[in-house]
Structure 1
């Protein structure tokens, strides 16, 4: 009887862990973003980094985001710290918002070694599905305190056009 109780409790525990993992994986899958370092990224040379887990060609990070909707608009907010507004390119294409950018490495002003290098640097693309059609040509974007905010006015249901959005 004790073995059966143990099996049942273990089964319930495993089911709970599996359910939690699946929910986290589904929720975070859109936020997991790959960064690809390029010539403009300006990463330190490998011999300047002591961190054995640093692989610049395989940099991934979470660009957390929120999508808010009211009667007039959608508001998309993406956490993208360490960038400038000029680093972003934003486009409404089909039923999605595409945000591209490049996060560049900033060197210290003195000589030394990098002991840990965990931040992702390079170019990225993040696609956010839009739950309703928007007027991309009237969209406004701002970048403040590491958060990119895009306000998208809604239109009647229909296929949105592809439009570039300037960051103010």
Structure 2
């Protein structure tokens, strides 16, 4: 027979693990969570063609996961944005932030029928990525392959990524 203290300890350990995992997910994914708003060319189906009761096109959110890589010469930003064309992106550097805008367009089926589930996000979006070093935006290059937007940003002052140790008093 399990004692109440053992049960309490087991639940506390479980809850701590879930809480830690949630905090990590929230911290890591906060920048990737992106709002999509219906744009001029989104072309979503009419609400009457969708049986999914949870589909609200004005409230679509999606994860646009990204990576930032740094070496001595450059920063490389990769953003996962499947289902788009390279012409659907607008990229700019504003201060120490990379701003990626775009619009993911809906592609309907050619036969008649109904949409039972619509879970993908469609519409106009903006994703911002803080840059850890100053870059030469006029020399930046971007490519889009296999659903991944890759932006290569040469550094203003080449050098190893810096790290600073701070003493706690």
Find runs of 4+ consecutive structure 1 residues off by over 4 angstroms: none
Kept in 1, the 8 Å contact 2:39–2:103? The answer is no
Kept in 1, the 8 Å contact 2:35–2:59? The answer is yes
State yes or no: 1:42 paired with 2:43.
yes
Structure 1 Cα separation of the partners of residues 132 and 57 of structure 2:
34
**Stretch of structure 1 that moved more, 12-21 or 27-36:** 12-21
SS of 2:138's equivalent in the other structure is helix
In the other structure, the counterpart of 1:25 is 26
In the other structure, the counterpart of 1:82 is 83
In the other structure, the counterpart of 2:69 is 68
Q: Which ranges in structure 2 are unaligned for 5 or more consecutive residues? A: 159-169
C-alpha displacement of 1:2: 2.7
List aligned pairs for 1:1-168, cutoff 5 A: 2-156=3-157
Structure 1 Cα separation of the partners of residues 86 and 97 of structure 2:
20
Structure 1 Cα separation of the partners of residues 48 and 72 of structure 2:
54
Task: Indicate the RMSD between aligned Cα atoms, in angstroms.
Answer: 1.4
- 1:29-75 deviation per Cα after TM superposition (whole angstroms, max 9, x unaligned): 11110000023111000001111111100000000111111111111
- 1:12-34 deviation per Cα after TM superposition (whole angstroms, max 9, x unaligned): 22111111110011101111100
Structure 2 Cα separation of the partners of residues 67 and 38 of structure 1:
28
Structure 1 Cα separation of the partners of residues 91 and 39 of structure 2:
20
C-alpha displacement of 1:114: 1.0
Q: Which ranges in structure 1 are unaligned for 5 or more consecutive residues? A: 158-168
C-alpha displacement of 1:4: 2.4
Structure 1 Cα separation of the partners of residues 81 and 40 of structure 2:
20
In the other structure, the counterpart of 1:164 is none
TM-score by length of 1: 0.89
Structure 1 Cα separation of the partners of residues 85 and 128 of structure 2:
19
